[in-house]
Structure 1
Amino acid sequence: SAALLLLAAACATCVVRVWGVPGTPASPVSSPAPSSILPVGLEQTSDPHARLPNSPQQGVFAQLVVADGAQLTEGPVQWRSERGLTGVTLAPGVHYDKRTQELVVPEAGVYYVFLHLTLKRVMAGNRNGSDSVSVALDLQPYQAGAALTLTLDLPPPPLGNSAAGFRSSLLHLDAGQRLSVHLRPRIREPLSWQLSAEATVWGLFRVATQVPSGLPLSKLT
C-alpha cells in the first residue's frame, strides 16, 4: 500500500540520517515475500484520528556499535553503549544492560529495528570451505521464533576478505521489552574473522504507538 511504502521510505531515510559509518556497501540479501497480515504482536486501533506520526522517531531511539576486535564466538553480541562514542545514540530512558547484552526500551509502540553486520578477515585461512555466520534478534519476554535473522556466507581467501548484510523489521515492543542479538558462527577457523567495529551497527526507533485500522503493515527486510 501507499501508506506502507511511505513508512518504509521514512524509516530508511531516518536510518541514513542516524547512521553514517564508512565502509563497503552491504551485499544484496534475499528478502522473503511480504505477508498480507500484521506481524505477530502488532496492534490495531479503530480510532479514526489515529495516524502514523510525522516524525518517525517520536523520541524513543537507540543505536549501538560493536566492540572493537569482537571475536566470532557463539552467544550474545557485545555492544558499545557509551554516550559520546562515535556511532552511539541512546534516547533518555533507553538502557543497554552490559551484563546480559540486552537493549531495553522504556515505552511500548511499533519500532523500526535495523541491523547492519560486517565481517572482516584478519588472518589468512587455509581452507576454501563454505563458512557462514548467522545472527538472530531475540526478545525477552520470549516470543516464538527470532524476530529478525541474517546469515552471511563468507568468501574463501581468493574471492574476498569481507562480507556484509542488512536486515530491518517493524516490530511491536512492550514497555520494558529486552532485545539482544545472538551470534551463531559456522566457521572452521573462527579466529580468521572478526566483526568490523567500523561498520557493524544495531538500532531502533519508534514509528508509532499504535497501528491505524486497515493499514496492511508487514515485516520489512
Structure 2
Amino acid sequence: MQPNMKTFLEERRRVLAALAGVAGSLLFTGGARAEDSVGKVGLLSGRATAVRGSLDVALEKGSELEIGDLVKTDVRTIVELLLGQRTTIRLGESAELLIDSFVMNMRGSFDLMQGAMFFDRPEDEPRSDVMIRTVFGRLGVRGTRFFAGPNRGVFAVFVERGAVVVAAGGETVTLGPGDGVNIPEPGAPPEDVVQWGQGRIDEVYASVGL
C-alpha cells in the first residue's frame, strides 16, 4: 500500500468510527447494536476479512457489510459483495476496498487501495452517482459494468457496458463500451483510450473469477 494512501485510510476510518459512535448513541438505547448494513457477502472462494473499527471480522457467505468496512482478500481469493438491491462488486486476490459510503440505488463512494475489482449493476437500473478512488486516479461511474485494477504491469480500466470517467494526472478521459485505458503509475495521466481485444478482456475478468 502506498504510504500516503495508508495515512489517508487511517484518518478516514477514524472519522467514520467517530461518526458511527455518535449515531449509535443518538439512535439506539438499552445496549442495542447500531446496524449500518449496506449489503452482504455473496460468493466467497478463499479467505476474506473486513476491518471494522479495531476488529478484523472473518467474512463468509451471507456476512453483513457495513459503511466503513475495509474488505481485504487473501491470496487465491475471490469475494463478491452484494450491495443494496442489485449492485455487485467482485474483488480479486490481495485486494483492499473501503466502503466509504453507499445509499441504495442512488450513490456511493469506495477506495480501492490495492488489487482488482469488477463493478456491475443491471442495465435497467436508474443511473446512480458512484465514485471509485485509487492511488492512480478517480473513476466516476456512469455505467453499469466495468473492471479496474492491475494488468500487464499497469493500472487498467475496461468498460463492458455504460461509461466510466477516468481522472488521473490532471487529465480526464471517458470510456464507453469496449474501451480500455492504461495508467502506468500513480500521478501519470491516462494513456490513449483503445478498444480492447477479447484476449485482454479474458485476462482481467479471470483475475476476478469471471
Which structure is higher in RCO with an 8 Å CA cutoff and minimum separation 6? 1
**TM-score clears 0.5:** no
Greater Rg over alpha carbons, structure? 1
Higher helix share: 2
Q: What is the TM-score when the length of structure 2 is the normalising length?
A: 0.23
Higher strand share: 2
